[in-house]
Amino acid sequence: MTGGIGAGDASAGIVAGRVALAAPGTEFHSRDVALGTERPAVFADALASEADAAASAAADAFFALQTEPGELDPVVLVRALAVALEGRRAELVAIAGIETGLPPARLNSELGRMTGQLELLAAEATARSGRAVEEDPAGEPGGAAFAPALALGHVPLGPVAVFGASNFPFAFGVLGGDTAAALAAGCPVVAKGHPAYPETSDLLAEILARVLADGGWPAGWFSLLHGRGSEIGQALVAADGIAAVAFTGSTRGGLALVEAAAARAVPIPVFAELGGINALYLLPGAAGEAGGGAASGASPFVTGLAQSVTGGSGQFCTKPGLLVLVDDAASRLTVASLASVLAAADSAPLLTPGILHALVTGIDRLRRLPGVDVLLDGPTDETDVAAAVPAALATVTSADLRADPSITDELFGPAVVVVYCDSIEDLIDLTGVIPGGLTATIHAAAGDEDALHALLRRLRLRAGRVLFGGFPTGVRVGRATTHGGPFPATSAPGTTSVGAHAIDRFLRPVTYQDLPESMRAAALSWK
Amino acid sequence: MTGGIGAGDASAGIVAGRVALAAPGTEFHSRDVALGTERPAVFADALASEADAAASAAADAFFALQTEPGELDPVVLVRALAVALEGRRAELVAIAGIETGLPPARLNSELGRMTGQLELLAAEATARSGRAVEEDPAGEPGGAAFAPALALGHVPLGPVAVFGASNFPFAFGVLGGDTAAALAAGCPVVAKGHPAYPETSDLLAEILARVLADGGWPAGWFSLLHGRGSEIGQALVAADGIAAVAFTGSTRGGLALVEAAAARAVPIPVFAELGGINALYLLPGAAGEAGGGAASGASPFVTGLAQSVTGGSGQFCTKPGLLVLVDDAASRLTVASLASVLAAADSAPLLTPGILHALVTGIDRLRRLPGVDVLLDGPTDETDVAAAVPAALATVTSADLRADPSITDELFGPAVVVVYCDSIEDLIDLTGVIPGGLTATIHAAAGDEDALHALLRRLRLRAGRVLFGGFPTGVRVGRATTHGGPFPATSAPGTTSVGAHAIDRFLRPVTYQDLPESMRAAALSWK
């Protein structure tokens, strides 16, 4: 089998190098999304007790490496993993393509992003570990003020539970950004694989297990657990030894983990990246440039927005879900042009039958709300899970949206809602009604300066990333990246899950007071 | 009346500049700790609905200042507050002395620390606001990689609920470090005053209210609520508009807030600083220097430890609660000398009858545990709350501690437990049994090098601050300070509640993508 784990049996994952024990009667198959069929490979939900076993092995491995540091270096591990993933690129893209229906170009790009994030975090760890972040030198002996010497360093938090997301098998999967940040920080990981792509998860786990074995790392540094219900995840968050949780997925799922983590005898932080609507505000000056009748060809704005809505079949946490504009002739032309382009833009099948069901149900619910005008129906048939997915487009007025803010509920898939405002003042005011999230985007042109300033100051309170032009689905993985924001973008508003600062989530500051010079290297290294 | 709020009636606090409404029948008096009597001033629990009113006023004020920024500058506010507090120093020290029984020297020092923290945070805000924390310049136009320009800034989180602690009316009171950090970050504050010193809290609130009025700030930028039960605090954490919670107090109280915050429709972060045992490890070489018979005069170590245990009547979250050493002749001499010094060291009365009750009960519980030998009884009479408090000292072997780890439960007051280990290996291993906390202290001398290294790597996993020599009750307020650590030191292990980085708890990162130069100042300023 592709995953190489539990050959001959159902795979429930890998716990510290051994096959995970499966809960009886929980077998399930991986799926071929394009064919809409089950694959031969068989998986199963891991026994809840395996969460404890994996957490315990991770905690033991962590304690051993922290207290008996040797040659093992998280930076070397992370870099070796990036190399190993590149070496298995063809296999990875092939199996992920079958399980997700995502095209090879997208998956190749996502894999490059995944290894790029590993490299970025390795560089960040190299630049930081072993150095004091801050130092307060000792005051004069016998001076009036109490002033011992302080040196600020960090330690890894400990074993991290990572929950892979449905929509990015590489960048937010079991070896995605959360795992990369945890490993770079010197933390072991217990990952819960998303049931949408178990073969891909198994292959990723096998690659890391080999890198760990080749490098002499304890097998407990990484475990993978399969499971479809919430039981295994709840067991993992409750397990002794788990020090933090990283999650990407639904608001409901994330909130359940937040509550479970807070109810522990020892509460632990949860870094849950959840949903969001990613509103895009098209100001009147820019709308004048963006319009153009459907007949005269779409503008770059319309083409770009349509691509951002339909790319990855709209299954991005940064997909623009609302287009907010002032109701005038230019806006109407823009929306007509957008409808025309979206009508011609079928997307690849959705990742799972559950996502298709939620989208069909969500559009149906939207259609029944007062004032909602559905211009493009989107998918209506839930039976053919392998069918291409047409885009959905609806319009509503700001007054109707205010009357029922549930119109802004996220539609995960190629769907966008247009909101017509009465005036620019109305549009600015509407920012207080539209929920916060990962991103907010402003398109402005000459004449929009005043509104631009007003929007900036409001939208930075509502988003982790504010874009001036462009579209939110492109996320640059850099030092200045924030992939977070106010709830529901994340449950931990002070943090980011992408970029160099993602490593901060898994480090804890430690101050050394009057640290002897001879202890300095040992104290300030995370390793 | 001292507080100047609600004159003629019971004070339930101040909500956005008006007198807070009191819950009927909840009147209580402030107390004179030295006399053990009630004072004339009358207070009352605020109505739970006042939490909503205060939160709402704070949220409105915050939104107004964020969206219509004018001349109001958090740095100016924080500096003006420091000046105003210094100007009322005599009054503040007088009333706090009556309500807490703490001596003027200690209160004067604490007030200096409070204003020093305000100055430090003002400097930190000045150095940071208006600048990009990180920048990723744009890639080449048309280049292969997706590389928009990114600039990383911050925004204030929003209204912060602050819970004052019993033991530091200034440094951890309603205008303590948490409020200072929130205000410096540009956040309004709703503070819950500790019922141990309501007159002091009212005076502090009055001083800040005047500074706000003089500076033209909205009255909703700060509110104070009185209350003795958990109801008002729970209402405050649940209130719409509250964006974060800062708490210093008991583990039980903090955990209740953590759970309440996680159960909100919009969960919010809780920065709860809780308890801890602050173990001090005296290694054999250092014990040789620390000993000395009681007759020959105490060593600097014994004198310093006794001061650290009894200072502030032991009511510090950093009080050393465990002395861990290897059982040998030098250690026995050290403990005998410590007993002798502690026996002669009566402390001022405890802050509240509740603290006295908990201490008497805790020592009584400890005495009944197998293997515990109580050398100094500590207080035994709960009736005289104004009496000086004798110190408590008990000893136990590491084997008995392992058999019942509840021996390490914090005794809040002048009490310390000595743990005799069989060997240095036993002492090192015991670090895994002793709970983590704010601090861990190592005293080492020649010959202790191997153990010192082993302890460093273990203790940094168990504490937010590791001291090499010295005593943990002194907390330097600096750039490199960590007042935090693993649970129960804090519920937010990535953060500190003291020092320059305390401001980070109340800021949220925001990334600006392709930010126009003309918007740069408005975007990167927190104001």
Residue B125 has pLDDT above 60, yes or no: yes
Q: What confidence score (pLDDT) does residue A108 get?
A: 97
Q: CA B328 to CA B346: how far, in whole Å?
A: 29
Q: CA B420 to CA B324: how far, in whole Å?
A: 6
- Closest Cβ–Cβ partner in B151, B469, B494 for A508: B494
Tokens 């501690």 locate to B401
Is the N-terminal amide bond of A488 cis, ω within 30° of 0? yes
Give first-to-last CA distance, chain B, whole Å: 36
Tokens 């009490």 locate to B415
Q: For B452-472, give one letter per residue: b (16+ CB within 10 A) or e.
A: bbbbbbbbbbbbbbbbbbbbb
- Closest Cβ–Cβ partner in A146, A493, A513 for B468: A513
Q: What confidence score (pLDDT) does residue A292 get?
A: 59
Query: A223 forms bridges with which residues in the sheet?
Result: A190
Q: What confidence score (pLDDT) does residue B166 get?
A: 87
Q: What confidence score (pLDDT) does residue B296 get?
A: 63
**Token couple for A69:** 């540091």
Look over chain A and give the mean of its residue pLDDT values, rounded to a whole number.
Answer: 93
Tell me what percent of the residues of chain A surpass a pLDDT of 70: 98
DSSP designation for A452: H
Report the pLDDT averaged over residues A310-329.
95
Q: What confidence score (pLDDT) does residue B3 get?
A: 41
Q: What confidence score (pLDDT) does residue B294 get?
A: 45
Tokens 């409901």 locate to A252
Contact between A519 and B452 using a beta-carbon 8 Å cutoff? yes
Contact between A480 and B151 using a beta-carbon 8 Å cutoff? yes
The residues, ordered by sequence, that sit 6+ positions from A8 with a Cβ below 8 Å of its Cβ are none
Distance from CA of A375 to the nearest CA of B (A): 31
DSSP designation for B415: E
Q: Which of B129, B79, B89 is nearest to B112 (CA)?
A: B89
What residue in B sits closest to A457 (Cα-Cα)? B67
A323 or A349, which is more confident: A323
Contact between B486 and A508 using a beta-carbon 8 Å cutoff? yes
Look over chain B and give the mean of its residue pLDDT values, rounded to a whole number.
Answer: 93
Residue A396 has pLDDT above 60, yes or no: yes
Contact between A494 and B515 using a beta-carbon 8 Å cutoff? no
**In B357-425, which ranges are E strands?**
373-377, 392-397, 415-421
Q: What confidence score (pLDDT) does residue B231 get?
A: 93
What ipTM describes this predicted complex?
0.95
- Residue-wise pLDDT tens digits, B91-102: 999 999 999 988
CA distances from A79 to A32, A64, B343 (A): 32, 22, 59
Residues in chain B with CB shorter than 8 Å from the CB of A491 are 267
CB neighbours of residue B71 within 10 Å: 8
B115, B448, B510, best to mutate vs chain A, most A CBs in 10 Å: B510
Q: CA A205 to CA A18: how far, in whole Å?
A: 12
Q: What confidence score (pLDDT) does residue A296 get?
A: 63
- Residue-wise pLDDT tens digits, A443-486: 999 999 999 999 999 999 999 999 999 999 999 999 999 999 99
- Closest Cβ–Cβ partner in A152, A454, A496 for B482: A152
Contact between A501 and B509 using a beta-carbon 8 Å cutoff? yes
- Closest Cβ–Cβ partner in B468, B509, B513 for A467: B513
User: What single string gives the DSSP state of each residue in A324-349?
Assistant: EEE-SHHHHHHHHHHHHHHHT--BPP
Residue A297 has pLDDT above 90, yes or no: no
Distance from CA of A235 to the nearest CA of B (A): 18
Q: CA B175 to CA B170: how far, in whole Å?
A: 7
- Closest Cβ–Cβ partner in A63, A132, A504 for B494: A504
Q: What confidence score (pLDDT) does residue A379 get?
A: 94
Residues in chain B with CB shorter than 8 Å from the CB of A513 are 465-468, 470, 476
Residues in chain A with CB shorter than 8 Å from the CB of B255 are 267
CA distances from B299 to B303, B341, B376 (A): 6, 10, 20
Q: What confidence score (pLDDT) does residue A415 get?
A: 97
Residues in chain A with CB shorter than 8 Å from the CB of B132 are 480
- Closest Cβ–Cβ partner in B67, B69, B484 for A509: B484
A442, A471, A510, best to mutate vs chain B, most B CBs in 10 Å: A510
Report the pLDDT averaged over residues B306-316.
94
Distance from CA of B197 to the nearest CA of A (A): 27
Cβ-contact A227, A236 below 8 angstroms: no
Contact between B150 and A481 using a beta-carbon 8 Å cutoff? yes
Half-sphere exposure of A372 (CA within 13 A, CB side): 25
Residue among B124, B317, B410, B421 flagged as catalytic: B317
Contact between A514 and B460 using a beta-carbon 8 Å cutoff? no
- Closest Cβ–Cβ partner in B494, B512, B523 for A269: B494
- Residue-wise pLDDT tens digits, A412-435: 999 999 999 999 999 999 999 999
Radius of gyration of the CA atoms of chain B, in A: 24
Write phi, then psi, for B160 (nearest 5 degrees). -115, 130
Residues in chain A with CB shorter than 8 Å from the CB of B492 are 269
Q: Looking only at Cα atoms, what is the longest distance across chain B?
A: 84
The residues, ordered by sequence, that sit 6+ positions from B379 with a Cβ below 8 Å of its Cβ are B350, B356, B359, B360, B363, B387, B389, B390, B392, B413
B187 is a catalytic site residue: no
Residue A290 has pLDDT above 70, yes or no: yes
Report the pLDDT averaged over residues B105-117.
95
Residues in chain A with CB shorter than 8 Å from the CB of B514 are 467-470
Cβ-contact A181, A189 below 8 angstroms: no
CA distances from A152 to A127, A133, A518, B50, B124 (A): 15, 5, 16, 41, 16
Q: CA B48 to CA A287: how far, in whole Å?
A: 48
Residues in chain A with CB shorter than 8 Å from the CB of B518 are 449
Cβ-contact B75, B126 below 8 angstroms: yes
Q: What confidence score (pLDDT) does residue B295 get?
A: 53
Contact between A461 and B132 using a beta-carbon 8 Å cutoff? no
Q: CA B87 to CA B89: how far, in whole Å?
A: 6
Q: What confidence score (pLDDT) does residue B496 get?
A: 96
Cβ-contact A69, A171 below 8 angstroms: no
Contact between B261 and A262 using a beta-carbon 8 Å cutoff? yes
- Closest Cβ–Cβ partner in B266, B505, B523 for A460: B523
Residues in chain A with CB shorter than 8 Å from the CB of B480 are 132-136, 150-152, 511
Report the pLDDT averaged over residues A146-157.
96
A231 is a catalytic site residue: no
Distance from CA of A7 to the nearest CA of B (A): 39
Residue among B110, B124, B199, B273 flagged as catalytic: B273
CA distances from B391 to B302, B306, B378, B509 (A): 14, 9, 5, 47
- Residue-wise pLDDT tens digits, B209-260: 999 999 999 999 999 999 998 999 999 999 999 999 999 988 889 999 999 9
Residue B31 has pLDDT above 50, yes or no: yes
Distance from CA of B3 to the nearest CA of A (A): 32
Distance of CA A99 to the CA centre of its chain: 19
Report the pLDDT averaged over residues B54-75.
95
Amino acid at A244: A
Distance from CA of A112 to the nearest CA of B (A): 11
The residues, ordered by sequence, that sit 6+ positions from A414 with a Cβ below 8 Å of its Cβ are A309, A310, A313, A314, A342, A345, A347, A378, A389, A390, A391, A392
Query: B245 forms bridges with which residues in the sheet?
Result: B161, B270
- Residue-wise pLDDT tens digits, B387-405: 899 999 999 999 999 999 9
- Report the relative pairing of strands A222-225 and A189-192 from DSSP bridges: parallel
Q: CA A294 to CA A375: how far, in whole Å?
A: 15
Question: Worst-scoring range by mean pLDDT, A6-10, B17-21, B288-292?
Answer: A6-10
Residue A6 has pLDDT above 50, yes or no: no
Residues in chain B with CB shorter than 8 Å from the CB of A504 are 494
- Residue-wise pLDDT tens digits, B503-522: 999 999 999 999 999 999 99
Q: How many CB pairs under 8 A join A and B?
A: 241
- Residue-wise pLDDT tens digits, B319-344: 999 999 999 999 999 999 999 999 99
Q: What is the pTM of this model?
A: 0.95
- Residue-wise pLDDT tens digits, A479-513: 999 999 999 999 999 999 999 999 999 999 999 99
A142 or A360, which is more confident: A360
Q: For A333-361, give one letter per residue: b (16+ CB within 10 A) or e.
A: bbbbbbbbbbeebebbbbbbbebbebbbe
Tell me what percent of the residues of chain B surpass a pLDDT of 90: 86
What residue in A sits closest to B457 (Cα-Cα)? A67
Q: Predicted confidence band at B6 (pLDDT cuts at 50, 70, 90)?
A: very low
Residue B12 has pLDDT above 70, yes or no: yes
Distance from CA of A297 to the nearest CA of B (A): 23
Contact between B469 and A135 using a beta-carbon 8 Å cutoff? no
Residues in chain B with CB shorter than 8 Å from the CB of A494 are 157, 269, 494, 504-505, 507-509
Q: CA B367 to CA A73: how far, in whole Å?
A: 47
Distance from CA of A320 to the nearest CA of B (A): 15
Q: Predicted confidence band at B527 (pLDDT cuts at 50, 70, 90)?
A: confident
CA angle, A272 then A277 then A280, to 5° = 135
Residue among A50, A124, A187, A317 flagged as catalytic: A317
Query: A420 forms bridges with which residues in the sheet?
Result: A325, A397
Q: Which of B510, B241, B51, B318 is nearest to A463 (CA)?
A: B510
Residues in chain A with CB shorter than 8 Å from the CB of B510 are 460, 463-466, 482, 485
CB neighbours of residue B373 within 10 Å: 13
Contact between A465 and B511 using a beta-carbon 8 Å cutoff? yes
- Report the relative pairing of strands A415-421 and A437-443 from DSSP bridges: unpaired
**Token couple for B117:** 């923290």
Residue among A99, A110, A124, A273 flagged as catalytic: A273
Angle between helices B74-87 and B89-100 in degrees, nearest 10: 70
Residues in chain A with CB shorter than 8 Å from the CB of B464 are 508-511
Distance from CA of A120 to the nearest CA of B (A): 13
Q: What confidence score (pLDDT) does residue B289 get?
A: 83
What residue in A sits closest to B503 (Cα-Cα)? A494
Q: What confidence score (pLDDT) does residue B498 get?
A: 95
- Closest Cβ–Cβ partner in B468, B504, B519 for A514: B468
CA distances from B178 to A39, A53, B244, B473, B527 (A): 56, 39, 11, 19, 19
